[in-house]
Structure 1
Amino acid sequence: MKVYSVKKYHPEHKSLWNNFLKESKNGTFLCHRDFMEYHQDRFEDESFLIFKDEKLVAIFPANRKNELIYSHQGLTYGGLIVGKEASFKVILKAVKCLLETCQNLGIHEVILKPTPRIYHIHPSDEIDYILFKLQAELIRRDLTLAIDTKQSIEISSSNRKRGLKKAQKNNLVVKEEANFDLFWNQILIPNLDEQHGVKPVHTLEEITYLKSKFPNNIRQFNVYKENIIVAGTTIFETDNVAHAQYISANNDKQELGSLDLVFHHLIHEVYNDKAYFDFGICNENQGKHINSGLQSWKESFGARSISHDFYSIFTKNHIYLNDVLI
């Protein structure tokens, strides 16, 4: 009989964790330990590795707050990351073992935010069925706006077409940059402060550090008019998806068409081989409201909605997995 066991993550597991992540079917570089640990001082890490006998079959990036465990709150998504060869039965038993372990540790609830399907390398919906059996409660649903590049919707917005023509008329230029200083200091930070009174999730030092660790996954594209930066976007790139992590432009964006130019360039030239181009969410207030203006703007590029769900699971409900297999 195969024995399933759970181990709490320890730094000695770093190589094992990262190597497994590379061969997983639903993990991305966000779950790499170097990415997770850039802000380790803000979270109490409570990540787990799940084994079948001596073989690692799943990892769970997580942090703990009192008697709750969260899919790591420093990550956009995560959930249970599983191996390409893992069968439904293996994943079922891995989840059951994980919840039993959490219950034994005095944890009564797990908040799970699975990786959206567009980021999966292979079909990985086993967890959706398991959540149903666990009587998990859907507690939040965000909408992310993405373009399916193989079945893209033609841009019908006259604003986007006019914006592109303005950018060309103004002789704007898109450049990929190795550093983030100009965009962060002259565009992003001032805009976020003026419009929302907030700062970027990542400081300039943090995004520079992450770029050094993931040079092929984090890329910066700036737009210039006569060598002066007027807009930019920071892209988080995975196997299937190019995700716009930050988007910002100066106050002349409507007259210059700067954002129309950069996204036309990225969607049709730089990332035309990706399955999806993801503009990110438009939700506010924990998913309960949608910024309609931002939603419409992203849709005007041909992007359409994909849900990103958050679930609450009571650890004691692992007993509901006992009768799944007949």
Structure 2
Amino acid sequence: MNNLTIKHYTSEYYSLWNEFVSKAKNATFLFHRDFMEYHADRFNDYSLLVFDEKDNLISILPANRVGDSIFSHQGLTYGGFVFLEHIKLGHVISIFKSVLSFLNQNSISKLHLKQIPPIYLDCFTSEIEYCLFIANAQIIRRDSLAVIDTSKSFKIAKSRKENIRRGTKNKLEIREELNFELFWNEILIPNLNKKHQAKPVHTIEEIILLQKRFPENIRHFNVYHDGKIVAGTTVFISEHVAHPQYVSGNETKNELGSLDYLYHHLITEVFKSKKYFDLGPSNENQGKNINQGLLFWKESFGAKIVVQDFYEVETANFGLLDTIML
């Protein structure tokens, strides 16, 4: 595949970009421009589109620039090159080489890729991993996601079952609603500030905006005890995966069993038709350490480990892709 053209994303490609995302084999709603651009003021967007010699769009790369480095977009949980299902390995090699060359010519020395975990894919797609190997890329981080495969039997630990029964005994009420303010202001923000001196990635205004843009992909659940909120979660939903983006409970969560009761309801009832329930990583220190207590809680729900890899590659290595095919 020769004569590829690399172009920077601009608003004129809005519809073309989103149409490509809707048909891709390795994309979710996070790659839609209406999601990516809610925080456009925080990032120097450097998203790329790759066109073939007939001016057909054959790949996109959601990305932002920091200094002389390009990152598969740091405002997204995952990223990387996006392809249609019919793409062949030889074409991917050409695309990857062309993008590295383009970046190198534009004074970009490194490309950082945050790969999409395999549970989010429509089909096998490891072509880029092979290209990264040839280009001498380095794995600089590896997160361990705790994932429940709901299509198979999974064992919930005795301690979790006890808390689930406690939730039933305490007559907890789970409501799906759009009262983000109550959860954000009374549960999430105070907990993050107390435990980590941090704030949610999304402000209350941002999560409300995103939910309005993607009502089928963002759902929220609150847990009540005697009419008072005690826990909640905001869930991001894609074709194959339900992923709690935020989850938190107040100081009574162990006494009431609120979080276990909520998760059991979501896994076995609300999202039982999704193949995977992604509890997310328990890593700290760029993947080098694991929060043991958090991992124990997730694995006690029957979750198994799926890794997400983060790569760094020198753009000057584009020439290494010249001699693959014999």
Task: Give the 5 Å matches for 1:16-165.
Answer: 16-53=16-53, 54-155=55-156, 157-165=157-165
In structure 1, the residue matched to 2:197 is: 197
Offset of 1:179 from its aligned partner? Answer: 3.2
Which residue type is aligned with residue 204 of structure 1? I
Matched, 1:314 2:323: no
CA deviation after TM superposition for structure 1 residue 178, in Å: 2.1
User: Match of 1:5?
Assistant: 5
Q: Distance in 2 between matches of 1:9 and 1:185?
A: 36
Q: Secondary structure at the match of 2:141?
A: strand
Alignment-derived partner of residue 214 in structure 1: 214
- Counterpart contact for 2:222–2:232, Cα < 8 Å: yes
The residue aligned with 1:239 is: 239
Determine the C-alpha separation between the residues in 2 that align with 1:152 and 1:245. 24
Q: How many residues are paired up? A: 325
Per-residue deviation at 1:2?
Answer: 4.4
Measure how far apart 1:152 and its partner are. Answer: 3.5
**Distance in 2 between the 1:50 and 1:195 partners?**
44
Q: How does 1:295-306 map to 2 (within 5 A)?
A: 295-306=295-306
Superposition deviation, residue 205 in structure 1:
0.4
Structure 2 distance, partners of 1:232, 1:148, is: 23
Counterpart-to-counterpart distance in 2, 1:97 and 1:46: 16
1:293-325 superposed Cα distances (whole Å, 9 cap, x missing partner) = 001011110111111110011111111111112
Q: Return the offset for 1:196.
A: 1.1
For residues 47-67 of structure 1, the C-alpha deviation after alignment (integer angstroms, 9 at most, x for no partner) is 100111211111000000111
Post-superposition offset of 1:285: 1.5
- The amino acid of 1:282's aligned partner reads S
The one-letter code sitting in structure 2 at the alignment partner of 1:281 is P
Q: Which runs of 4+ in 1 moved over 6 A?
A: none
Aligned identity (percent) is: 50
Alpha carbons 1:118, 1:241 under 8 Å: kept: yes
Please tell me whether the aligned partners of residues 173 and 223 of structure 1 are also in contact (alpha carbons under 8 angstroms).
Answer: yes
Distance 1:278 1:121 in 2: 16
Indicate the SS of the match to 2:36.
helix
SS at match of 1:190: helix
Provide TM-score, normalisation by structure 1.
0.98
In structure 2, what is the equivalent of residue 263 of structure 1?
263
User: Match of 2:280, SS?
Assistant: strand
Matched residue type, 1:140: R
Query: Given residue 202 of structure 1, which amino acid in structure 2 is its aligned partner?
Result: H
Rounded Cα–Cα distance in structure 2 between residues aligned with 1:218 and 1:324: 43
CA offset digits 1:14-69 (Å, max 9, x no partner):
11001000000001111111111111111100010011121111100000011100
Question: In 2, distance between residues paired with 1:200 and 1:2?
Answer: 45
Distance, in Å, in 2 between the alignment partners of 1:152 and 1:76 is 28
SS of match in other structure, 2:199: coil
In the alignment, is the contact (CA less than 8 A) between 2:2 and 2:94 conserved in 1?
A: no
- Is this contact kept in 2: 1:179–1:208, CA < 8 A? no
Q: 1:141-160 CA distances to partner (integer Å, 9 max, x unpaired)?
A: 111111011124211x2211
Amino acid in structure 2 at the alignment position of 1:306: V
Counterpart Cα distance in 2 of 1:150 and 1:159: 23
Letter in 1 for 2:235: I
CA-to-aligned-CA distance 1:121-159 (integer Å, 9 cap, x gap): 12111111111111110001111111011124211x221
Computed over aligned residues only, the root mean square deviation of the Cα atoms, in angstroms, reads: 1.0
**Aligned with 1:166: secondary structure?**
helix
CA contact (8 A) 1:183 1:222 kept: yes
Q: Which residue of 2 aligns with 1:15?
A: 15
Query: Given residue 86 of structure 2, which amino acid in structure 1 is its aligned partner?
Result: E
Which runs of 5 or more residues in structure 1 are unaligned?
A: none
